[in-house]
Structure 1
């Protein structure tokens, strides 16, 4: 069990300079953290050696107490010249506390530690025990020192959950004890650059936990460690805060998948190249609560269409390929004869022939429904008429052609159809993870998200 505290003070006095200058210029100044994870650096002079610089990729600093700081992506937004000195203020995108880095390529670590909003509830391991000793007038509150939970080993990168206690004495008669769950990502091979961590590992894990929780979640409290044990704190703060999700409201909490969690994470990472466009469409939708209904619907349709194409074959056709090639040759001869005097029209029609035999959206949706019929029949009603309505609605929202307007879904029917498409996509993602049909059924049947949908479609 580890203990956590405040990772960073709000204000840091120190000396600051830019690495790599011909003549190192150090200036006194104050770094002040903002609530969004950024910071402001106020200097009494500017850090330049001849040319006025509005931006610095990196600024280094040492606090008055000797702590090392690396400030990344610094943009000047205030520059004031006074009688006695000059004041410059920089907006700092990210602060690394604990080490100096001259460039981004040096930001390589063997281990990262971080958490996600509602991860405590997803893990749901912490249990406090309250005991009264009335004879000696002693009340005791205790909790178990939990072992680290091994999650997976993904190509030499070990993922696990560890626990850390946070104890705060507010007043003489009040104390707060919190047991927090953290993810540990540790490389058994090469060090992992911070950019690789934030662009690959962190988004995939965020999406993984968001899907299992049944609601969006965001990373918090990132720390990184070198092989030699030096810890670097990162001022990363998620752009959005979410309400705490209770364990019983989640789609799949940890207790439901403790046995297969390694396989699920392995598959999630292994298939990410193939499924990345689907991940992007789905998660960009659920993370954006301001997205209008029409675009939400289109994203779900496009994600399912792309999923079918990437998973069940790009080469699927309406007619057998050899038969269609014969038909296409005859159609091309006909067009050539009829449009011999209009070369532009002929070329346009000939190009359409190349795509005429491709599998339609209707076929792709029906195929997915048939493939997962056991689960879908348990969850919802969806027939060929609704599939036809979805195709017409997609065409209307894509082309805004009035001939589709009357038949397109609208209002509550559109909301229900969009939610059904979202559930179908989710069960496809669970299936790709490696979850059994029975666990997928149980996951949907017990989640608050499914209950809300059940109420919605019965309004």
Structure 2
């Protein structure tokens, strides 16, 4: 049964300057926070309601037992009024800052936050326990690597450090649990607004999800605020807890290391260059990464929806990182074909060269249009990976490309006449696997993951899909 924290007190709503009694409910394990406010009716105003409506940025609470708590990103539900008695309203809360009292939302700035993303120990590979048997006794030593520090920009520093004893050592039946964790600290030269810090945390979360091929959930967050500086040691700020009400929760499992696309070491080799790319390119990569990781965050996603997401991800990647200018793109394709076949003009194209050009510029009249078609964008991305991985499901590269377009158009612009042109239900999961491998390859290319490692991950993924298809095909016989 989930434990719930209940805090009663008075709550001040900045937008309406109301002070109302209420109870805050915090469920840490389920990541839910809601506040129930109560306003008593009076004989003069038997239907007295609460002024606040919709969404407010901040509510400040003074707890009856002492202390205060600040609620951020608060969404009001419908009010329930009992005539001549009271009005109540339930408010969902995204974040609750323990022992923080600021005058307004502009003061919600922090010089540092620490985030625990749960089971990322094997991915980070910064610490471990080593056992030693001596004199008929077992001894355990905790060993760790040096923390990693990296300047994200002129204002932001990221520190990734192993921590021992994040929670007390516990004994359960015959098992002893000794705790270790990896903490990601974001430090800011100039204290940063919480709404912007959330964006930095999401970047880290999506990078971890992509690298580990699974959904990552925040296990805990601590904040540092200038109001908590100690008089005796001014440079020290005591960290305080942030409760999360995002509802983003799941079983924290370490995942399988052989499934990782990349590890922390891959990001930090070569002077943290890949880590730098993750942040500097993220605004451009963001929709592509989010489309690629949707399969991890939503395990019950349908094959059709996943197909649309992956197709859109590839199309978006081409538009942002290859070309969105038809004239430039056609010149790029011709240069690529001429270089590959060792010719200097279109007049010298062989039938093979013309077939390759047609694969990347698929519409006959596309040279005269002002926009690139999906078929051309996909053709280019498939062509740039020389290996043909579609034969095992029964298609040539040209057939596969046409099926991609027909299937996307069928799902987005439904027509019964197109139903016989799309991928079958049986083959769709393998098509999605192929698209996922391609999309991951291009994302890792932009991040700067070492090329051989990127290629190994790509080919391993394709071999796994091929083998699974063959095994399932045998089961159907």
Q: What TM-score results when the alignment is normalised by the length of structure 1?
A: 0.76
Residue 367 of structure 1 corresponds to 380
Residue 98 of structure 1 contacts residue 231 of structure 1 at CA under 8 Å; is this kept in 2? no
Report matched runs for 1:58-457 at 5 Å.
Answer: 58-63=58-63, 66-72=66-72, 73=74, 75=76, 88=88, 90-93=90-93, 94-134=95-135, 139-144=138-143, 146-164=145-163, 165=165, 166-170=167-171, 175-188=176-189, 190-198=190-198, 200-227=199-226, 228=229, 229-236=237-244, 238-242=247-251, 243-260=253-270, 262-317=272-327, 356=369, 358-373=371-386, 376=387, 383-444=397-458, 452-457=464-469
Q: Distance in 2 between matches of 1:172 and 1:278?
A: 46
The number of residues matched between the two structures is 410
Q: Distance in 1 between matches of 2:435 and 2:404?
A: 9
Deviation track 1:74-111 (CA, whole Å, cap 9, x = no partner) reads 6366768699x868564441311021134332211111
Q: Which runs of 5+ in 1 are unaligned?
A: 1-8, 321-351
Residue 116 of structure 1 contacts residue 218 of structure 1 at CA under 8 Å; is this kept in 2? yes
Q: Distance in 2 between matches of 1:51 and 1:42?
A: 14
2:26 pairs, out of 14, 17, 33, with: 33
Deviation at 1:19, TM superposition (A): 5.3
1:16 pairs, out of 10, 16, 19, with: 10
Larger RCO, structures 1/2 (Cα 8 Å, 6+ apart): 1
Residue 343 of structure 1 corresponds to none
Q: Secondary structure at the match of 2:179?
A: strand
Residue 20 of structure 2 contacts residue 39 of structure 2 at CA under 8 Å; is this kept in 1? no
Q: Secondary structure at the match of 2:169?
A: strand
Residue 366 of structure 2 contacts residue 372 of structure 2 at CA under 8 Å; is this kept in 1? no
Q: Distance in 1 between matches of 2:41 and 2:203?
A: 38
Deviation at 1:445, TM superposition (A): 5.3
Q: Secondary structure at the match of 2:127?
A: coil
Greater Cα shift, 202-211 or 14-23: 14-23
Residue 218 of structure 1 contacts residue 238 of structure 1 at CA under 8 Å; is this kept in 2? no
Greater Cα shift, 45-54 or 426-435: 45-54
Residue 11 of structure 1 contacts residue 30 of structure 1 at CA under 8 Å; is this kept in 2? no
Q: Distance in 1 between matches of 2:367 and 2:286?
A: 27
Deviation at 1:235, TM superposition (A): 0.9
Q: Distance in 2 between matches of 1:42 and 1:306?
A: 43
Q: Distance in 1 between matches of 2:109 and 2:59?
A: 18
Q: Distance in 1 between matches of 2:366 and 2:269?
A: 51
Residue 40 of structure 1 contacts residue 92 of structure 1 at CA under 8 Å; is this kept in 2? yes
Q: Which consecutive segments of 4 or more residues in structure 1 shift more than 6 A?
A: 21-24, 47-50, 80-83, 171-174, 352-355, 378-382
Residue 59 of structure 2 contacts residue 70 of structure 2 at CA under 8 Å; is this kept in 1? yes
Residue 152 of structure 1 contacts residue 261 of structure 1 at CA under 8 Å; is this kept in 2? no
Q: What TM-score results when the alignment is normalised by the length of structure 2?
A: 0.74
Distance 1:380 1:207, change over 3 A: farther
RMSD: 3.7
Residue 20 of structure 2 contacts residue 37 of structure 2 at CA under 8 Å; is this kept in 1? no
